[in-house]
Amino acid sequence: EKIGLKSTGSGFLDEQSMIPVSGVFAAGTAKGPKSITESVADAGRVALDVLNYCKVQYN
């Protein structure tokens, strides 16, 4: 909440509240219940998002 993020009623990050927060990314069980396999796959996708964000911001 200190940086403008909201949580769902279940205590997970509300992904819609993250859209206006530049440079903030969440993966895995921060966004909701997931298995380990799902969490690792999600982390890979988010890592690519971070890489693309950094390319735009710092190149």
Per-residue model confidence (pLDDT) at position 17: 66
User: Buried (b) or exposed (e) across 33-56, using 16+ Cβ within 10 A?
Assistant: ebeeeebeebeeebeeeeeeeeee
31 domain residue, yes or no: yes
41 domain residue, yes or no: yes
Per-residue model confidence (pLDDT) at position 8: 81
Enclosing domain of residue 21: 15-58
Q: Is the pLDDT of residue 4 over 80?
A: no
What total number of domains does the chain contain? 1
Residue 39 identity (one-letter amino acid): S
50 domain residue, yes or no: yes
Mean pLDDT of the chain: 85
